[in-house]
RNA sequence: GCCCCCUUAGCUCAGUAGGAUAGAGCACAGGAUUCCUAAUCCUGGUGUCAGAGGUUCGAAUCCUCUAGGGGGCACCA
């Protein structure tokens, strides 16, 4: 269907006009045709002519095209196209011949993009919100990669500063407790059971080695050991979830390797930092932020913002054309200062885009599950994956756009029924595989079917299915441009929503060898798109269910 | 107090970059399987797009105000 864009663009240019993009949409009602465009209406103003008149002219110059069966002008100036069956079948053949690669349009340029996501503090296990960020980030990375960009996925490790110190001290306190020593548990310390467990393991390993040694002296060990273990947990949890990073960037290393100093020195020499009240400030307000921000406190220690500046500077040094940060929505107030940093570093602020992922409220059977981080009682991502499965969890995360609240009901997610759309989609795939197996039993080899068998396809349900298949490139393009993987999820439900009824009304395997072949080929294309789209989302395509 | 986001069917949400009569799933009721997997299908209806103004040939979509919900304000992380 996407070919229409070029056709329309050419027709528009024959009128001596131009459109920034050709908008194509699938009309709600089939009677309006297969696909339509409102370009004539958008051209009305620049051309100072009636939209319907413009539409008539575009229609006139396109109706001879072999791909187009008919083109009508309707309503205020819509152009409604009906695609010829011949052309649809040719397109089907092309898909069968060239596979999924011909479903994704080439991007206008090949970009190097970096996506940073999850980046949870290594102070405890991941919770559901992190999972949402992971699902969105990974799907977005797949999407951009599939669209031809070079993508790097990175996890930023906050292993310097107060939080990991607090982690170390919490473990230290539990360790002391093991040996009956009093040590005041740090205020805001981490109280989860995993801390006590870790302290227990350490106690078994090292015995009383750190008893009688102050935290100031022993802290290094507990901090290092704690962050390492937490990071291992995070990494394995993400792997279980099916999310793998290309790179893990340690904040601490930004300091020890001198990158923070180098970056700040550079900014300072350019006059973008200044001293006031004994602290070092970044002139964020010169670059669009509300106020200036401290990077080095008057006690000489760095704020997190300091390493964030250096981190983004470092990303730019590494030569990316585009940086994408995926943050929890509660960090939205941080965006202006980060954008200010990008501009101060001499880059277009559009180089950095921040995708905010909204909070997840966890329910069980309609009732909210209390999540209290302070008490350490919260449901972890791992627990949810174990209970409902990684595919389902991801799918639910990807059925909403990132920036909208999400209700995650564990009981609903667990149901293996139609309340659970992921099964609906996966079942379509499994059903197709099942038909292949049946076909094989009857001695029909998919590879042996000649492509021209597809001329036997003629049922309206078959044409509808075929049109939906050929719509995929358009959906993909939209999702790619908007950086919105959830559009793929909705498309999948629509595709499955055409397949299942088709399956129920028309038998694929029949006595008619030609028709059987034709239908198997159609299923081949459905299968191809299902697998392609599922792989973008990072969701498996099961052979059987 | 200031700033950001959200408000669409009973519920959960889509609605693409301002386009046609605003959609889907679930829930609810009834029905379908001698035949490729019933995790399926078929048939039933539902809206003050939070409210009020404005811009536009055209607004759920853009602007202003109001109400409700969430989030953020630091030499915290």
The CB-side HSE value for A431 (13 A sphere, CA atoms) comes to 19
Model confidence at A418, in pLDDT bands (50, 70, 90)?
low
- Residue A33: strand pairing partners: none
**A331-CA/B19-C1' distance, Å:** 36
Model confidence at A404, in pLDDT bands (50, 70, 90)?
confident
DSSP A404: S
**A492-CA/B6-C1' distance, Å:** 26
SS (H, E, C) A223-257: HHHHHHHHHHHHHHHHHHHCCCCCEEEEHHHHHHC
Give, in order, the Cα–Cα distances in Å from A117 to each of A139, A410, A539: 11, 24, 19
Model confidence at A415, in pLDDT bands (50, 70, 90)?
confident
Q: How far apart are CA A137 and CA A382, in angstroms?
A: 18
How far apart, in Å, do the first and last CA atoms of chain A sit?
Answer: 32
Instruction: Tell me the backbone φ, ψ of residue A257, rounded to 5 degrees.
Output: -90, 5
Q: Which residues contact A279 (CB under 8 A, 6 or more apart)?
A: A294, A296, A297, A298
Token readout for A531 is 């697998």
Other Cβ atoms less than 10 A from the Cβ of A405: the count is 10
Q: In the structure, how many helices (H) and strands (E) does chain A have?
A: 19, 14
Burial of A49 (0-12, 13-18, 19+ CB in 10 A): middle
Q: How far apart are CA A83 and CA A90, in angstroms?
A: 12
Token readout for A230 is 């937490």
CB distance A388 to A132 below 8 Å: no
Looking at A304-410, which runs of residues are DSSP E strands? 322-328, 352-357, 360-364, 367-368, 406-409
Q: For position A377, what pLDDT does the model report? A: 56
% of chain A surpassing 70 pLDDT: 98
Q: For position A75, what pLDDT does the model report? A: 86
Q: How far apart are CA A74 and CA A80, in angstroms?
A: 7
Q: How far apart are CA A13 and CA A430, in angstroms?
A: 46
**A305-CA/B61-C1' distance, Å:** 36
Q: How far apart are CA A400 and CA A405, in angstroms?
A: 8
Model confidence at A416, in pLDDT bands (50, 70, 90)?
low
pLDDT digits (tens, 9 = 90+) for A292-313: 999 999 999 999 999 999 999 9
DSSP A302: B
Closest to A384 measured CA to CA, from A130, A150, A206: A130
> CB under 8 Å, gap of 24 or more: what pairs does A254-258 form?
A254/A160, A254/A307, A254/A310, A254/A311, A254/A314, A255/A160, A255/A302, A255/A307
**A207-CA/B60-C1' distance, Å:** 65
**A22-CA/B64-C1' distance, Å:** 32
**A500-CA/B42-C1' distance, Å:** 12
Other Cβ atoms less than 10 A from the Cβ of A32: the count is 18
pLDDT digits (tens, 9 = 90+) for A114-151: 999 999 999 999 988 899 999 999 999 999 999 999 99
pLDDT digits (tens, 9 = 90+) for A200-253: 999 999 999 999 899 999 999 999 999 999 999 999 999 999 999 999 999 999
With CA of A22 and C1' of each nucleotide, the nearest comes out as: B17
3-state secondary structure of A82: strand
With CA of A299 and C1' of each nucleotide, the nearest comes out as: B75
Residue A328 has pLDDT above 60, yes or no: yes
- Specify the CATH superfamily of domain A112-155+243-357: HUPs (3.40.50.620)
What average pLDDT does the structure give for chain A? 92
**A365-CA/B5-C1' distance, Å:** 27
With CA of A73 and C1' of each nucleotide, the nearest comes out as: B20
Q: Taking the CA atoms of A88, A93, A96 and A102 in sequence, report the sign of the dihedral they define.
A: negative
Closest to A536 measured CA to CA, from A75, A83, A98, A151: A151
Closest CA to the C1' of B2: that residue is: A290
Torsion angle in degrees (nearest 10) through CA of A416, A417, A421, A422: 20
This complex has an ipTM of 0.94
What architecture does CATH give domain A3-83?
2-Layer Sandwich (3.30)
Residue A371 has pLDDT above 70, yes or no: no
Closest CA to the C1' of B12: that residue is: A407
Closest CA to the C1' of B17: that residue is: A23
DSSP A485: T
Domain residue spans of chain A: 3-83, 112-155+243-357, 162-241, 421-537
With CA of A436 and C1' of each nucleotide, the nearest comes out as: B36
Q: How far apart are CA A380 and CA A46, in angstroms?
A: 56
Nucleotides of strand B lying closer than 7 angstroms to a protein CB: 3-7, 12-17, 19-27, 32, 35-37, 39-42, 57-58, 70-77
**A37-CA/B29-C1' distance, Å:** 40
Closest CA to the C1' of B26: that residue is: A419
With CA of A504 and C1' of each nucleotide, the nearest comes out as: B41
Q: Which residues contact A438 (CB under 8 A, 6 or more apart)?
A: A509
Other Cβ atoms less than 10 A from the Cβ of A234: the count is 24
Q: Which residues contact A239 (CB under 8 A, 6 or more apart)?
A: none
Q: For position A513, what pLDDT does the model report? A: 92
With CA of A508 and C1' of each nucleotide, the nearest comes out as: B36
Give, in order, the Cα–Cα distances in Å from A369 to each of A128, A344, A374, A396, A404: 12, 44, 15, 17, 19
CB distance A307 to A292 below 8 Å: no
Fold agreement between A3-83 and A112-155+243-357: no
Residue A437 CA, distance from chain mean position: 33
Radius of gyration, CA atoms only, chain A:
29
Q: For position A445, what pLDDT does the model report? A: 87
Q: What is the mean pLDDT of residues A53-58?
A: 92
Name the packing angle between helices A162-178 and A215-241 (round to 10°).
110
CB distance A251 to A157 below 8 Å: yes
Look-up of token digits 């102050």: A214
Model confidence at A417, in pLDDT bands (50, 70, 90)?
low
Q: How far apart are CA A119 and CA A307, in angstroms?
A: 14
Q: For position A109, what pLDDT does the model report? A: 83
Q: Give percent helix, percent strand, percent coil of chain A, each to the nearest 5.
A: 55, 15, 30
What architecture does CATH give domain A421-537?
Orthogonal Bundle (1.10)
Instruction: Tell me the backbone φ, ψ of residue A76, rounded to 5 degrees.
Output: -70, -10
**A271-CA/B55-C1' distance, Å:** 44
Q: For position A372, what pLDDT does the model report? A: 55
């Amino acid at each position: 269907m996407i070919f229409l864009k070029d056709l329309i663009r050419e027709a528009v240019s024959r009128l001596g006009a131009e459109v920034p993009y050709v908008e194509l949409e699938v009309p709600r009602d089939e009677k309006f045709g297969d696909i339509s465009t409102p370009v004539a209406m958008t051209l009305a103003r620049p051309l100072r002519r009636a939209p319907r008149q413009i539409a008539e002219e575009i229609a006139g110059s396109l109706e001879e095209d072999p791909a187009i069966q008919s083109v009508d002008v309707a309503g205020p100036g819509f152009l409604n196209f009906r695609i010829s069956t011949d052309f649809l079948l040719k397109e089907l053949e092309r898909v069968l011949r060239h596979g999924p690669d011909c479903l994704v349009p080439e991007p206008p340029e090949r970009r190097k993009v970096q996506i940073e996501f999850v980046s949870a503090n290594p102070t405890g296990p991941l919770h559901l919100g992190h999972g949402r960020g992971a699902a969105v980030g990974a799907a977005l990375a797949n999407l951009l990669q599939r669209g031809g960009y070079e993508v790097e996925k990175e996890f930023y490790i906050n292993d310097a500063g107060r939080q990991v110190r607090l982690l170390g001290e919490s473990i230290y306190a539990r360790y002391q407790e093991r040996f009956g020593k009093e040590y005041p548990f740090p205020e805001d310390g981490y109280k989860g059971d995993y801390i006590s467990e870790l302290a227990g393991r350490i106690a078994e390993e090292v015995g009383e080695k750190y008893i009688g040694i102050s935290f100031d002296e022993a802290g290094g060990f507990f901090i290092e050991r704690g962050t390492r273990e937490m990071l291992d947990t995070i990494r394995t949890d993400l792997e279980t979830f099916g999310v793998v990073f290309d790179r893990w960037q340690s904040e601490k290393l930004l300091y020890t390797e001198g990158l923070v100093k180098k970056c700040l020195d550079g900014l300072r020499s350019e006059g973008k930092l200044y001293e006031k009240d004994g602290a070092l400030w970044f002139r964020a307000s010169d670059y669009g932020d509300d106020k200036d921000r401290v990077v080095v406190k008057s006690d000489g220690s760095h704020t997190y913002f300091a390493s964030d500046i250096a981190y983004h500077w470092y990303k730019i040094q590494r030569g990316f054309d585009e940086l994408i940060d995926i943050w929890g929505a509660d960090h939205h107030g941080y965006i202006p200062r980060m954008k200010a940093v990008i501009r101060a570093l001499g880059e277009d602020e559009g180089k950095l885009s921040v995708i905010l992922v909204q909070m997840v409220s966890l329910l069980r059977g309609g009732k909210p599950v209390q999540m209290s981080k302070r008490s350490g009682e919260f449901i972890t991502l791992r627990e949810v994956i174990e209970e409902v499965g990684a595919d389902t969890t991801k799918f639910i995360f990807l059925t909403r756009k990132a920036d909208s609240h999400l209700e995650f009901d564990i009981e609903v997610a667990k149901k293996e029924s139609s309340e659970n759309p992921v099964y609906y989609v996966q079942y379509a795939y499994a059903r197709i595989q099942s038909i292949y197996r049946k076909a094989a039993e009857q001695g029909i080899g998919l590879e042996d079917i000649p492509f021209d068998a597809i001329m036997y396809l003629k049922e309206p349900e078959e044409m509808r299915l075929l049109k939906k298949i050929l719509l995929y490139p358009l959906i993909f393009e939209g999702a790619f441009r908007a950086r919105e993987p959830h559009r793929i999820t909705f498309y999948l439900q629509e595709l499955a929503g055409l397949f299942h009824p088709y399956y129920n009304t028309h038998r694929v395997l029949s006595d008619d060898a030609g028709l059987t072949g034709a239908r198997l080929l159609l299923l081949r294309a459905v299968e191809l798109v299902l697998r392609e789209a599922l792989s973008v989302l990072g969701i498996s395509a099961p052979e059987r269910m």
